[in-house]
Structure 1
Amino acid sequence: MKCRFVLLAVLAGFSISWGADAGPGTRLLRFPAIHGDRIVFGYAGDLYTVGAAGGTARKLTADAGYEMFPRFSPDGTQLAFTAQYDGNTEVYLMPSGGGIPRRLTITATLGRDDVADRMGPNNIVMGWKGNDKILFRSRKDEWNDFKGDLLLASVEGGLPEPLPLPYGGFGSFSPDGKRLAYNRVFREFRTWKRYRGGQADDVWIHDFDSRTTVNITDNPAQDIIPMWAGERIYFLSDRDEKKRFNLYSYDLRSKKTEKHTDFADFDVKFPSLGDQAIVFENGGFLYRFDLRSRKAVKVPITVADDQVTGRGGWIDVSRRVSNYEIAPDGSRALFGAHGEVFTVPAKHGRTLNLTRTPGAHERASKWSPDGKWIAWISDASGEDEVYIAPRDGSGPPRRLTEGGDTYKFSLLWSPDSKKILWSDKKLRLQVVEVESGKVTEVARAKAFEIADYAWSPDSLWVAWAQEEETQLQTVYLHSLASGATFPATDGWYDSGSPAFSADGKYLFFVSSRTFNPVYGQNEFNYSYRDMAKIYLVTLARETRSPFEPKSDEVRIKEEGSKEEPKPKPEPEAKVTVRVDPDGLVGRVAEVPVESGTYRHLTSAAGKLYYMTLRKGKAVLALYDFDKLKETELLDADGYEISADSKKMLIGQGGSYSIVDLPSARPDTSERLDLGDLRFEVDRAAEWRQIFHECWRQMRDFFYAPNMHGVDWAGMRERYAELLPFVRHRADLTYVIGEMIGELSAGHAYVGGGEVPPKERVPLGLLGAEIEKDPASGYFRIVKILRGENWDKATRSPLTDIGVDAKTGDYILAVDGRPTREMRDLYEALVHTAGKQVKLRLNGKPEEAGSRETVVVPVGDEHGLRYHEWVRGNLERVEKATGGRVGYIHIPDMGVDGLNMFVRHFYPQFRKEAVIVDVRSNGGGNVSPMVIERLRREAVLVDIARNTAPSLDPGGMIPGPKVALLDEFSASDGDIFAYR
């Protein structure tokens, strides 16, 4: 019930009905195909068929996976499509009128293989070549997600046949099958409309006899999804002034282009060519374009079905906890999960759901220190507002704020339970009085949102960390009584995570003031890590530091004096915080803990509790001010301390425990029972909420307040029309993606969400190119990919130590099963990734003289194929330049790309020049680090006796440098070339 964020449609002014079925004129019909008088299309992940004139559709498939991209055979008898019946996304075939699907391809599971992913699904069916071969696009052999290969799958099954093209997108064969109209780029699932960058594709024609390729559109706009009909090639283009995809055609004889549709509100999507017409989607409806009349008409279709993927029901949200809190006395815990607010007993009692609102997103829940109220942020009104409700759900929630106009961040109760503090996307820090509802602005930042804030124990002061234009944070203090605001830290160091001491004498904070340079191993360079420690400032001028030297002195009892009675403990006095601003930033003391990473500071019972990182693990620790000693308590994800400072809630790997406030390692074996963190979800209401929250997210977070000139309110209304027809989470993602795509901006993505579970089936791969020998029926190893077997990502199974396999060997049997009985070798390798497999091999296609060897297949060849490609490029450059020029490929501008740069840059210092290849670099953020090294210029040469001279500065190749990039060099990979 979050988009990450959302809104309630009815309250937002939309009257959207949601009945048992979508009713007449069902929308969100996707991926259509047509032949003669029949249309097949996808809806909610299943395939349906209907007459070409429309009517009530009949379901053809009903699997938990997603079925898509149906395509009729030219004779109309068969239907090829992409589906997930057996776990992976594969090509299937069935009779066009329905029947049992038959799997045609067997490929490995990809990390990104989903209809809702911007890279699109794998193994997309695109069309036919005759009645016996199916054209599809696959990423099975590509190391880069941008690229895919075009292949032909036989209706009889077997290894697919790759087309002799380097890569491709949508394609369509000429009627005689000798030429192919195709796109080189595939970006149809990207949420970036009106794109004019390097991946804006054209329609190309490849002649398989002459091996020539010509561009027939050559337009800066996007010309996509070609369909070859006689002497005319139809395609989609957004080349007109509206920049909206419409249907066009190119006449092969006149070489003229003609526009056939003129849709203005929605793009034409995923057209498909039939024998007499083209069918496509627009605004969720299907349209039929007659090839003779060249007129498009809407096809009225009704889907009357139970649509189980859109139904609600009871769900377990115990693994979807977004925040947790402890009751003031530790008797219960508070959880926010899946947009609902729950309280769970420490030991005895029932779990309470305080919200039960699938049409709203409740989050950031907090328990008042006096125990009476629970507060949260909700968008039930259509905007983020602050609500409170009785702790036991005995009364309805009460809204404290009005006129919400942006996204609100975390809530924080004042210790007296009379006020609530929060920050928002407009960079404000605000407080609301619980009784009156009066809202007061405490602060407004200039550079970034305010994220860390804290109350003083007397509820009269607020501290917060605010990022300045220097990108360093300063901690500020604000008096609610006087309205005065002043800094508690100076601007020389990054400071944050403020927390008052329980006695009101100190303000703790985390600050990066420890300078420990770490020198690199490959060159004389350094970086700064683990700079932070915990510090405190004394708020009042006369307050002494807890770390001042102490001295034990001998007490002398005077003769005749009586023993002084021990003082009786006084009742706990009310804390009053006094702050002397003069000299405050200089009254800093360091808490003696090791430098590292610290967050979530809380003072209680003379101790300071905090989260830190130790040896790469999150650790809960404390510092005892009586003993002046740090104690590491245990590994944990987080913690919360009860308002009475007697109990602690600890989170560990999705489990939670309430313990006495610890001074040493606590026993967390007694876990809270989250078995009743369940509620009845209404998918329709939830998906409406997600849509509207996503709309607000873009409104509030998009960098340009004018939304690129787009009528953003109008776009919400336009795409909200499709919500009543959403019956699958992937289709909601599609609708949201189409809406945010109207902003015409890159890096605006949508993903995630709950889809029907489907088990992925791992396939074992041998790290080799395999072909079937038609004469013998056996499979032959054509090429063994070279790997580095000490690296799991580039392990080549057939070159492992002890494996006896060679290029040219015939694979006679797999685990005793003769391969000549198989259409596809990989049918014997399903579920074998990481397991031992026995192969019978021979250099000849016969049993005599054969040998057996045991191999352990890999589940993913992408790293291996990438290594083979880079290695080939290195060898090519080495040979062409006589070893004088170096070569470096950088696959992305993240950790992997930086590692590849370091791996190949430093061993090539002595090269006279270098080629830096960023083709297919998907981006990241490390290009400045790479550029800094490439731009270095020699200042002097270091020479010592009996050693090789070295350049200063080190870490450089002084000669010429060339950068290679292509249309798939994206984001920081594209920026690199301009730096």
Structure 2
Amino acid sequence: MKKYSVLILLFTSILFAQNNIYFTTEPALSPDSKTIIFAYENDLWTVPSEGGFALRLTGLEGRESNPVFSPDGKWIAFTGRQDGNANVYVMPSGGGEIKQLTFHDKFDVVESWSWDSKTIYFNSSRANIGTVYKVSINGGTPERLFENFFNRIHNLVEHPQTGEYIFNDTWESSIFAHRKRYKGDFNPDLNSYNPQSKEYKVLTTYRGKDMFPSVDKNGNIYFISDEFNEEYNLYTFMNDKKKQLTSFEASIKNPKVSADGSKVVFEKDYQIYVYDVKSASSKKVDIKLSGLNSLVIDQDFNTDGKITSFSISPDNKKIAFISRGHLFVSDIEGKFIKQLSLNPKERAVEVYWLKDNKTLLFTQTVKGRENIFTIAADGSGSAKQITSDVRNNRTITINSDRTKALYYSGRDQLRTLDLSTFKSETVVKDEFWAYGQAPAYYSPDENYILYTAYRNFEQDIFVYDVDKKESFHITKSGVSETLPYWSPDGKYIYFQADQLKPAYPWGWNDMEIFRVALKKYDSEFKADKFEKLFKEEEKKDTTKPKVEIDFEGLNDRWEVISDERGNQTHPFVIQKDDETTVLYISNHDSESNAIWKTSIKTFESNKTNKISNSSANVLTISSAKDDYYVLMSGDVYKLDIKNNKTEKIKLNATFTKNLQNEFEQMFYETWSNIDENFYDGNFHGADWNKLKDYYGSFLPYLRSRENLRVLLLDLEGELNSSHQNFVSNGDEEKTFHKINTMSAGIIFDKENPYKVEKIINNFVLDKIDKKVKPGDLLTAVNDVKVDEKINREFYFTSPFTLEELKLTFK
């Protein structure tokens, strides 16, 4: 918690002494085991190990974590983030000046101390995905302990008698430490390495997880293992064999023994516990502190650049849009904006206008599940829930006269929705994914429905005959054809595909835009066009075009519409008179994704142009009358298709929201998405509903976004599934200070960190006019003379990336 002097005066009713404290994390004991230091609300606190009132120890900008007492009890090393990145800091344990020891834009996370209290061990990603370095308490340049690039050493402690390092070395005990019940070749064991004798040993051989070693002054090692009941419990060694010390039904984490060996502190159920070695018993530490729950305080947000869904009213006079889960209505120019009243604990996701120009159809989460609602656009009434499914109803499309809608429900149903009665009907049951699922569309005459379904991890295109109630599988190539779209005249289907490579698992990288003629149409002739010049002008046909499909030979009628270079996605088709305009996303000019258009006109070659000032990865378009609008980078723009331009509509509204509601909504939506889309319906043996209730019970105690990340990672870890993560960032975590670390392509000597050992091939100094050679000493950076006692990286770190560096050598 930072800078709350004003808030204390304004919100004294929220300031209170808390007795039941949760999310007290990463505890460590003083050498005599009398004091616990821990992280809470982004700061470090201390409390007697017997419990009592906690005192805040730090108040830096950013988040402090991973505190560890030095063995002599004089110092505390910790990880700080006041410059926006994790670096190593140290401070006197009795209070005093805080000193920054590392300066790098990669993460540096404190792990432990040397037993002489002179060196701090930390994990860093500065050279690879993560390995251990050491740095002197007095400063200086860090030194890497294990040189091989593939070593990902972590959780390292030093043995007090032998000097050997005890550690883990797989990602299952680092970035996937939250994953439970893993058993396999990548399981984490406790390992040791003696840097003097070069002897390497494997201390545990259990097929599951043994991790987070901690050692006391007598060489007794404590760690956690899931061998007893597939939950992490505390273990030690007795006569070189594993000995179980606790039998909890809920996992513990982050154990650390006091230097004197009398107590071990750890986390359980997001609270701090202490294990007394002599009595072989554990108890929760009762912590009291005064705190301000800032998450429940409403914060100001702005819609500018933060719009996620929008719709233009049929009369082309109004815009409905969603920003951060809130629903707004504006005039078409954005001059006056009204926020509609919705449930503040849920998130609006999609929005569409109905044909009366007065009613909005939108989706909103209900305890994590997207359901369909309506609401009066003028804000005169409350939202009315249309569906009440325990599944996600999503990806809505509406037919041309706004009488019917299509949407996906769950992972196996395509449904229709009558927009006058709001009755829904399931028309197709198939394999639909929440991620990457293409929208379904009615044909121009509404006799067919165009959609995609998955076959062997690839999307295929289908056409559903509404009268016959039968689906036709029209692409069977073994690669993905997706995002199909009807031409307004009903003669073609446009779609994207890569004919040479499956989309799974790497995604869409070399797609092109195709169209397929639904029948074998003859080409137009100039003679016919000439004869029409002398016929009386016919009244414009306003009837819906009739769609006819000749399925025989359909796959032989493909033709490429877009440039064959780069990646083209998200086709959208417009027809006016005898010209067809295909809009899509492309990067074929070797720049970033932008909106492009290909114009198709009889008797002329296709013309392709870039829409200027357009940048988008997804093409989201809404139209009314003859105008088209697009969502780009969180803002709504009006498309000038004729002149290849866009014009931003300023939708600038301020609204309030509290993060407590938002975090709870994010929790249930994450749980729901996994519930609906996890590949194993048995959830690898986990009781997914029970786990929702268990982890959901901690939601009232969240105090930061970091708490939410930890909670959801632990929830996901119950699935015993690899490559799962939860990422969330917010402006409230941003710091004023920033750092960037620059590299000159030099490998420096391990013993002398300012002496050149090697110049990296093909890097900036590997040039004919550069005279730097192995053995040279770096003496100045940008004319600042270096002090060899200072961390070399300090001189290569700046709040911004410098275009040039001046290095002086001798």
- Shorter chain as denominator, the TM-score bin is 0.7 to 0.9
Matches within 5 A, 1:135-534: 135-140=121-126, 142-143=127-128, 145=129, 147-151=130-134, 153-163=135-145, 167=151, 168-176=153-161, 178-185=163-170, 187-190=173-176, 191-251=178-238, 254-275=239-260, 276-308=262-294, 311-347=297-333, 349-380=335-366, 382-402=368-388, 404-446=389-431, 451-457=438-444, 459=446, 461-468=448-455, 471=458, 473-479=460-466, 482-487=467-472, 489=474, 491=476, 495-502=481-488, 505-510=490-495, 532-534=513-515
Distance in 2 between residues matched to 1:63 and 1:364, nearest whole Å: 40
Distance in 1 between residues matched to 2:680 and 2:500, nearest whole Å: 38
Report the residue type matching 1:781 in the other structure.
Answer: K
Q: Deviations over 1:590-634 (max 9, x none)?
A: 678456445333344333443153434433325355676644453
Look up the SS of the partner of 1:160 in the other structure: strand
Q: Deviations over 1:401-452 (max 9, x none)?
A: 12x1323331112333333210134221101223333211121224767523
Q: Kindly state the Cα deviation for residue 172 of structure 1 after the two structures are TM-superposed.
A: 2.4
Distance in 1 between residues matched to 2:362 and 2:601, nearest whole Å: 34
Q: Kindly state the Cα deviation for residue 798 of structure 1 after the two structures are TM-superposed.
A: 4.0
Q: Kindly state the Cα deviation for residue 279 of structure 1 after the two structures are TM-superposed.
A: 1.0
Q: Kindly state the Cα deviation for residue 585 of structure 1 after the two structures are TM-superposed.
A: 6.4
Does the CA-based 8 Å contact 1:779-1:812 persist in structure 2?
no
Report the residue type matching 2:157 in the other structure.
Answer: S
Report the residue type matching 2:323 in the other structure.
Answer: A
Distance in 1 between residues matched to 2:785 and 2:457, nearest whole Å: 69
Corresponding residue of 1:971: none
Q: Deviations over 1:896-932 (max 9, x none)?
A: xxxxxxxxxxxxxxxxxxxxxxxxxxxxxxxxxxxxx
Look up the SS of the partner of 1:66 in the other structure: coil
Distance in 2 between residues matched to 1:286 and 1:257, nearest whole Å: 24
- 1:756 matched to 2:733? The reply is yes
Does the CA-based 8 Å contact 1:431-1:441 persist in structure 2?
yes
Corresponding residue of 1:648: 628
Corresponding residue of 1:657: 637
- 1:601 matched to 2:598? The reply is no
Distance in 2 between residues matched to 1:288 and 1:554, nearest whole Å: 93
Report the residue type matching 1:756 in the other structure.
Answer: E
Q: Kindly state the Cα deviation for residue 376 of structure 1 after the two structures are TM-superposed.
A: 1.7
**Rg larger in structure:** 1
Quick check: 309-318 or 413-422, which moved more?
309-318
Report the residue type matching 2:281 in the other structure.
Answer: K
Distance in 2 between residues matched to 1:194 and 1:657, nearest whole Å: 50
Aligned CA distance change for structure 1 residues 342 and 29 (closer, same or farther; 3 Å): same
Distance in 1 between residues matched to 2:795 and 2:444, nearest whole Å: 68
Quick check: 331-340 or 359-368, which moved more?
331-340
Q: Kindly state the Cα deviation for residue 335 of structure 1 after the two structures are TM-superposed.
A: 2.8
Q: Deviations over 1:12-49 (max 9, x none)?
A: xxxxxx97669322111110011142211011321111
Aligned CA distance change for structure 1 residues 339 and 258 (closer, same or farther; 3 Å): same
Q: Kindly state the Cα deviation for residue 710 of structure 1 after the two structures are TM-superposed.
A: 1.1
Higher strand share: 2
Aligned CA distance change for structure 1 residues 309 and 431 (closer, same or farther; 3 Å): same
Match of 2:20 among 25, 46, 60: 25
Does the CA-based 8 Å contact 1:511-1:535 persist in structure 2?
no
Q: Deviations over 1:84-110 (max 9, x none)?
A: 12343211111224443111123x312
Does the CA-based 8 Å contact 1:442-1:478 persist in structure 2?
no
Matches within 5 A, 1:574-589: 574-580=542-548
Q: Deviations over 1:454-477 (max 9, x none)?
A: 123455543323444694623303
Quick check: 68-77 or 827-836, which moved more?
827-836
Distance in 2 between residues matched to 1:640 and 1:764, nearest whole Å: 39
Corresponding residue of 1:783: 757
Report the residue type matching 1:39 in the other structure.
Answer: I
Aligned CA distance change for structure 1 residues 310 and 802 (closer, same or farther; 3 Å): farther
Report the residue type matching 2:628 in the other structure.
Answer: M
Report the residue type matching 1:534 in the other structure.
Answer: R
Q: Deviations over 1:565-587 (max 9, x none)?
A: x66x75x6652454556667659
Quick check: 189-198 or 78-87, which moved more?
189-198
Q: Deviations over 1:313-371 (max 9, x none)?
A: 01234333323332323333333332223334332531233355442121122222442
Aligned CA distance change for structure 1 residues 633 and 665 (closer, same or farther; 3 Å): farther
Distance in 1 between residues matched to 2:470 and 2:724, nearest whole Å: 38
Does the CA-based 8 Å contact 1:41-1:48 persist in structure 2?
yes
Aligned CA distance change for structure 1 residues 727 and 627 (closer, same or farther; 3 Å): farther
Match of 1:673 among 625, 650, 672: 650
**RMSD between superposed Cα atoms in Å:** 3.5
Q: Deviations over 1:629-677 (max 9, x none)?
A: 64445334366666543111134555432256x4x22443x4211322x
Q: Kindly state the Cα deviation for residue 715 of structure 1 after the two structures are TM-superposed.
A: 0.6
Does the CA-based 8 Å contact 1:737-1:749 persist in structure 2?
yes
Look up the SS of the partner of 2:707 in the other structure: helix
- The share of aligned pairs that are identical, in percent, is 20
* TM-score, scaled relative to structure 2: 0.85
Match of 1:109 among 105, 110, 133: 105
Aligned CA distance change for structure 1 residues 419 and 555 (closer, same or farther; 3 Å): closer
Quick check: 237-246 or 590-599, which moved more?
590-599
- 1:700 matched to 2:667? The reply is no
Distance in 2 between residues matched to 1:82 and 1:654, nearest whole Å: 34
Report the residue type matching 2:741 in the other structure.
Answer: L
Match of 2:78 among 76, 81, 100: 81
Does the CA-based 8 Å contact 1:457-1:502 persist in structure 2?
yes
Quick check: 830-839 or 255-264, which moved more?
830-839
Does the CA-based 8 Å contact 2:67-2:76 persist in structure 1?
yes
Distance in 2 between residues matched to 1:440 and 1:451, nearest whole Å: 19
Report the residue type matching 1:610 in the other structure.
Answer: L
Aligned CA distance change for structure 1 residues 770 and 310 (closer, same or farther; 3 Å): farther
Match of 1:537 among 503, 508, 518: 518
Q: How many residues align?
A: 766
Aligned CA distance change for structure 1 residues 98 and 685 (closer, same or farther; 3 Å): farther
Does the CA-based 8 Å contact 1:171-1:181 persist in structure 2?
yes
Structure 1: segments with no counterpart, 5+ residues: 1-17, 114-121, 517-527, 539-543, 558-562, 789-794, 843-979
Aligned CA distance change for structure 1 residues 374 and 605 (closer, same or farther; 3 Å): farther
Aligned CA distance change for structure 1 residues 704 and 154 (closer, same or farther; 3 Å): same
* TM-score, scaled relative to structure 1: 0.71
Distance in 2 between residues matched to 1:651 and 1:340, nearest whole Å: 17
Report the residue type matching 2:85 in the other structure.
Answer: N
Q: Kindly state the Cα deviation for residue 59 of structure 1 after the two structures are TM-superposed.
A: 1.4
Corresponding residue of 1:841: 809
Report the residue type matching 1:149 in the other structure.
Answer: V
Corresponding residue of 2:710: 734
Q: Kindly state the Cα deviation for residue 751 of structure 1 after the two structures are TM-superposed.
A: 1.6
Does the CA-based 8 Å contact 1:49-1:58 persist in structure 2?
yes
Report the residue type matching 1:215 in the other structure.
Answer: V
Distance in 2 between residues matched to 1:645 and 1:628, nearest whole Å: 27
Distance in 2 between residues matched to 1:82 and 1:205, nearest whole Å: 25
Report the residue type matching 1:763 in the other structure.
Answer: T
